[in-house]
Amino acid sequence: MDYQTLKNRLLEFRRQRDWEQFHDPKNLAEGLIIEAGELLENFLWKQPAECRQLTEIERKRVEEEIGDIFAFLIYLCCELNIDPFEAACRKIEINEQKYPVEKSKGKSTKYNDL
């Protein structure tokens, strides 16, 4: 399924339930953060290596949370008329300037401390 088809399916799902009334940018941003917290909960108290070796049940839970996050992000982008692919491309360009390879390779240092 391509992005436009997924977006249309989500918007139709929302329209059929009359949920547009609840989907203002503030509430969608809050929902996005809540869903991100639910994603994070799946990794709570796990060691980094454990996070890469999830059971099938754990992986399914993570997948569902990622689906929720992506849906909220699409709704938010629709409400604000933002193309997430264009936004991501612009952000890569910005980050290329902030984090030049010669200064940032192999480092987790924030750009203003490089």
pTM of model > 0.75 = yes
Same domain, 102 and 76: no
Task: Give 24's pLDDT tier (boundaries 50, 70, 90).
Answer: very high
Q: How many domains does the chain have?
A: 2
Count CB atoms within 10 A of the CB of residue 35: 20
Greater confidence (113 vs 60) lies with 60
Same domain, 25 and 58: yes
Dist CA 17 CA 23 (whole Å): 12
Same domain, 51 and 103: no
Residues 19 and 78 sit within 8 Å (Cβ to Cβ): no
Same domain, 78 and 109: no
Count CB atoms within 10 A of the CB of residue 14: 17
Q: Which two tokens stand for residue 17?
A: 């339930």
Dist CA 98 CA 61 (whole Å): 35
- Convert the pLDDT of each residue in 51-79 to its tens digit: 999 999 999 999 999 999 999 999 999 99
CATH of the domain at 22: 1.10.287.1080
Percentage of the chain with pLDDT > 90? Answer: 92
Q: Domain span at residue 69?
A: 3-82
